[in-house]
Every structure is written in C-alpha cells, then in structure tokens.
Structure 1
C-alpha cells in the first residue's frame, strides 16, 4: 500500500449494506509510503491504521 500525507484511504464495508469508511492520512509511520498510517476521519478522530486488502488509496489530487 503506497500512500502519502494528504491521501485518502477508503476501507470498503465487509458486510452487505455497510458503508465504506473514508479517512485522510495525516502521517506515515512506516518506511516511506507504507503502513502504519495515522489517519483522521470526518469527525476529526485520529487513529493508527494498517489497511487490509479491502482498502484502496485515493491519491491527493486524483478523484
């Protein structure tokens, strides 16, 4: 998983009807561009995330 500060991570719901979780990368804690990431959700809550295979990166500047 290659992500930078400012990118968004989309964690897809694992159950039918569950919404995707979208968070912003605020800090890369692993080797360059790799997990773990410090992320912030839309409510301002920060946590540490190691994305799984059900996640994808939306790079800053790309929709």
Structure 2
C-alpha cells in the first residue's frame, strides 16, 4: 500500500457497532510512498499507521 501526504485514510472497525476511523496522511516515512504513515485522525489524535487489510487509502484532492 502506498500513499502521499494529504491522502485520506479510513480504518474499518473490526467490532460491531464501533465507528470507522478517518484521518489524513501528514507524512510518509517509508520508502517509495510505503508505510509507515503518520496520520492525523479527525479527532485530532496523531499516530504512526502500518496499514492492514482493514485500511483504505484515497488519493489527496486535486484542488
């Protein structure tokens, strides 16, 4: 999985009734756009993310 700064990331919940987590990639620390990604989640929390099969990365807006 690859990303660039500004991309949106969604981490699907593994628990019934728990919300998905949404955030923005603010830094890519791996080589060639690979993980880990520093992500600022919509609740303001920042974390290093090593995406798994429950993650979706959407490209940054072109605007």
Give TM-score, length-normalised by structure 2. 0.88
Equivalences, count? 62
Q: Which has the higher helix share?
A: 2
In the alignment, the residues of structure 2 paired with residue 51 and residue 34 of structure 1 have an alpha-carbon distance, to the nearest angstrom, of 10
List alignment gaps of at least 5 residues for structure 2.
Answer: none
Give TM-score, length-normalised by structure 1. 0.88
Of 22-31 and 53-62, more deviation after overlay is shown by: 53-62
List alignment gaps of at least 5 residues for structure 1.
Answer: none
Moved >4 Å (runs of 4+): none
